Structure formats: C-alpha cells, structure tokens
Structure 1
C-alpha cells in the first residue's frame, strides 16, 4: 500500500476502514449519478471493479488500462458470442429464469474470447468477464443504449475509483509506476 510520508502509514487509514468506506462511497456516487440521469449505470460487474480499485490498488488488474480495456474486451467478447450463436433471439436468462442453449453457447464463446484477448493485450481485469456474461446471458442487449450504459458505468469507475486507487497505492499522478 502507499504510505503517508509523514507517518509511514497507508493513506486513508487502516484497511478495515478504507476499503468498505471507499467502496460504499464509490457505489453511492455512481448509483446517485445513475438515479439522477435515469440510466442503468450501476450494474453487477462494476462491484468487483470497485473492489479491486479500493481494496487491491496495487494489483495490475486494478490499473486504469486494465479496467477500461478489460471491460471493452468483455463487451466485444459478449457481443461476438451473442452474434455467433444467435442468442439475441433467445430470452434473457436473468428475466426469463430459463437457460436457452444459445445463451450457454454465447457465454462459453464470450468467456473464451474475453480471457484470450485480455491475456494477449495484457489487460487482465476479472470483473470484465462478468460484463461479457451479462451480455451473453441477455442482461444487456446489443443496442446502443445498453452499450452506452456499460461505457458510462466504466467511465464513472475510472473517474471516481482511479484517484482513490492511486491515493491508496501511493502513486502520484504523472508517476510512471503502476499506471
């Protein structure tokens, strides 16, 4: 963890305090902006992204690049899975409480592509696999408004979570370490 140069302790206090408070704060801000805008900008795969930013800020998977590229890859992987299997014609697993075979196939393809491309681009961000599944399972549809909701949600994570991550990790802006 980053240390306060004055007393050698991590910025923000002990972990038992920092992580839950900043995670709740980040979630509240994103949710509040979403409520005001009337948009679904707070969705399940953002929770693990918030977790990484505030609780494990030094992990490579918590970096800005990994967060943005990881979710972008997750969206693309989910879309490829849906398009290759025709799953867009099947009901959403989340609302129908059914598991159409096309959604299973879309999920398998999405997970394989997501992990492959994240590794190739050195953009590992495990929460983005959940984004791929949200698309493959029909939680998000391949329509501009849903894709925009994901982009804005991830953008809000970066806007709010990245400064918190850097503060906790002791990384100054402009510092080349762990960007």
Structure 2
C-alpha cells in the first residue's frame, strides 16, 4: 500500500476523529454506520445466495463489535465460539426432544419445544463461561435453533458462515479505525484463570 493510501485511511481513525468531535458522537456514529454496513453486506449475500445469512442474533453481535470492540465478549474468540456453542446446544436440544424434523410453530409452542428451548439456553449459558467464551448474542442463536427456525445442517453451516463474515468485518473495520482489535482474543482475557 502506498503512503498516500495509508494517509487517506488515517482519516477514519477514531482517535483522530475524537480530537475534532465529541467522543460520544463519534462512537455513536461509528457503531451505527458500521452495524448498518455489516448487516447490509450480509443481507446482500443472503439475497444472492438464497441462504439465511441474516438472522436476529447478528444485530446484537454487530452492536458489540462496534460499540465495545475491546470487550472480551466482542473478541473473535468469544464471538465465534459463543455462537458455535449456541448452534450446537440448540441442535442437541432438538435431537434430544425429537424435533429435528419438526417444522417450527411459534404460535403453538408445546412442551417438547419449551423443553428444547430451556435445554438449549441452559447449555449455552453454562458452556460459554465454562469455555471462557461468553458472547450474550449466542443466547439468541441457540433459541433460533431450538425453536426450529434454522435447524437443517445446511442452515447451521450458513449461520456459522455469517458469524465468521461479521467477525471478519469487525476485525477489518476496527483495525482500520486504529483500534487494537485482537486477532483471536484480548491478551488480558487469555491470561485470566
């Protein structure tokens, strides 16, 4: 990359913008614009692939990535593993309750579906701290799966691909903004017991 291009990118560094404008305004615009751009990109991928690259838990994931990018819960480690735990726990709960092949019905939730949701959320909420991968939006992901909204292996692969894409977007955007966003996890998070 030429020096001129690097200088042009420096305009987008948060630190530089915060010297000229109120920090709160800069951070609000940064979070809002980048969350919007990230989800629009995923929506375009969903439209052209006809696959579920857009689902509710990506909203709070985008918020964490751009509002609190240096929080442990926003690190790639926590984002990717948290959602993976949610997907696997949701799928496991569907399998245990015999609902893998049952279409979702949000208007008539029966005891098996309620059990699947409770089991999935309990496993997700228990495993994330155990594996040091807390990412609150994964609680939504596990319910999406346990409710049967995304339940086929193809859907689950696409779901995780969408999480990888938004995490990669967060990495690139936060680094371009001059933030020390981690490649995998925050140094302090890796050192915690």
**If the length of structure 1 is used for normalisation, what is the TM-score?**
0.85
Determine the C-alpha separation between the residues in 2 that align with 1:178 and 1:164. Answer: 22
Partners of 1:167 and 1:125 in 2: how far apart? 23
C-alpha deviation, 1:173, in angstroms: 6.4
The higher radius of gyration belongs to: 2
Structure 1 equivalent of residue 39 of structure 2: 27
Aligned residue among 105, 124, 127 for 2:134: 124
TM-score, structure 2 as length reference: 0.79
CA 1:44/1:77 → structure 2, altered by over 3 Å: closer, same or farther? same
Alignment of 1:160 with 2:172, yes or no, is no
Distance 1:37 1:56 in 2: 31
Matched residues in 2 for 1:101 and 1:147: separation? 24
Residues of 2 paired with 1:173 and 1:62: CA distance? 10
Change in CA separation of 1:28 and 1:133 when aligned onto 2, cut-off 3 Å: same
Equivalent position of 1:71 in the other structure: 83
Which runs of 5 or more structure 1 residues have no equivalent in the other structure? none
Q: Across the two proteins, how many residue pairs are aligned to each other?
A: 174
CA RMSD of aligned residues (A): 2.7
How far did 1:162 drift? Answer: 2.2
User: Which structure 2 residue ranges, 5 or more long, are not aligned?
Assistant: 1-12
